[in-house]
Structure 1
Amino acid sequence: MRMTISGLPKHFDKFDLQRLFNPFGWVDYTRILIDPITGLSRGKGIVEMKQEEDAKKAMAALQGRMLGPNPLNIKETKDKGPKTW
């Protein structure tokens, strides 16, 4: 299951994000979204977890948690599939 997380502290990296979600189950992938102009974190990230059940536990436990000035907002990201032109 793929999730988009917003409200992350600006200093968070992909390893911090993985450590945040690891207690809930196997984390397949993490990514911090970076502003291409400034090279700084946008305060958003992506997490993929192997088991949907684990991802839902993580979402329930972490939704609204304060890690910095903003609460975490976690949403399931739907796979849009391949682009066709």
Structure 2
Amino acid sequence: MKIFIAGLPFEVEEAELRAVFGDFGVVKSLRIIKDRETGKSRGFGFVEMPNDDEAKEAIKNMNGGDYNGSKITVKVAEDKPNDGQSRGFSRGGGGRGGYNR
């Protein structure tokens, strides 16, 4: 199960978060999303846990909780629709080159 985490303090590292979720079970993967230009955390990330029961337990215990002074949101990650929107393409067209003709 893939889990979405929001409201993370910007200084939290992946190893620390992996250890926290590891208290609930096996963590298959974990990624804190970072700004492309600065490399700094954007305050959210994803955890993948192969056992759904362990993932649900982590969600139940962590959602709305305090993590290093920040209230975090922890929930099942929603799949992005695969309609071109997730890659930044719009169906309406126009203006993508930085100027309009």
TM-score relative to the length of structure 2: 0.74
Match of 2:47 in 1: 47
Match of 1:62 in 2: 62
User: Whose radius of gyration is greater, 1 or 2?
Assistant: 2
Match of 2:23 in 1: 23
Cα–Cα, structure 1 residues 65 and 84, in superposed 2: closer, same or farther, change >3 Å?
Answer: closer
CA displacement 1:43-83 (0-9 Å, x = unmatched): 111100010000000000011111134211012113458x4
State the number of aligned residues: 84
Higher relative contact order (CA closer than 8 Å, sequence separation 6+): 1
Cα distance between partner residues in 2 of 1:33 and 1:2: 14
Match of 2:7 in 1: 7
SS state at 1:27 partner: coil
Superposed CA RMSD in Å reads 1.6
Aligned amino acid, residue 56 of structure 2? K
5+ unaligned residues in a row in structure 1: which ranges? none
Aligned amino acid, residue 54 of structure 2? D
Aligned amino acid, residue 15 of structure 2? F
1:84 CA drift (Å): 6.6
Aligned amino acid, residue 60 of structure 1? K
Cα distance between partner residues in 1 of 2:83 and 2:56: 31
Match of 2:74 in 1: 74
Match of 1:38 in 2: 38
